[in-house]
């Protein structure tokens, strides 16, 4: 019984109904499968964006860039959660904004 409590989530993004709806929707939209190599490629691409913008944030430390990256990243996350179909478009924007934040925090401390 205790393990069942830990597996349940009250997060609306992780609801079972939403996951089933989205999996049916994606299966009907081309039937593309998500492979390990595509996951690795996308992760490396997003990490490269984050590192490039972190270097910019570190080389040109500015509270505007740092706070803009933090607040902008938060806004982009909320937009991506509300618009799951466009989350692939929001991912590079989020990586760039978080890179500015990480670079700025690294430069100030």
Nearest CA-CA partner of 73 in 103, 43, 107: 103
% the chain with pLDDT above 70: 69
What are the strands, taking DSSP E only, across 1-109? none
pLDDT at 1 over 90: no
Residue 31, CB-side half-sphere exposure with 13 Å CA sphere: 0
Average pLDDT of the segment spanning 49-75? 95
Give me the pLDDT at residue 88, please: 86
Tens-digit pLDDT profile for residues 9-42: 666 666 666 666 665 555 444 556 667 888 899 9
Give me the pLDDT at residue 93, please: 96
Task: Indicate the average pLDDT of the chain.
Answer: 82
Top-confidence residue, 59 or 15: 59
Confidence class for position 94, pLDDT limits 50, 70, 90: very high
Q: Show the CA angle centred on residue 87, arms to residues 7 and 10, nearest 5°.
A: 25
């Amino acid at each position: 019984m205790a393990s069942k409590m830990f597996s349940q989530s009250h997060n609306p993004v992780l609801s079972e109904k939403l996951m089933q709806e989205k999996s049916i929707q994606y299966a009907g939209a081309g039937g593309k499968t998500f492979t390990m190599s595509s996951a690795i490629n996308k992760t490396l691409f997003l990490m490269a964006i984050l590192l490039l913008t972190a270097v910019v944030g570190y080389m040109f430390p500015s509270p505007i860039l740092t706070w803009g990256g933090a607040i902008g990243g938060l806004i982009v996350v909320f937009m991506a959660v509300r618009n799951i179909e466009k989350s692939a478009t929001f991912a590079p924007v989020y990586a760039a904004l978080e890179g500015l934040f990480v670079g700025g925090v690294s430069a100030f401390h």
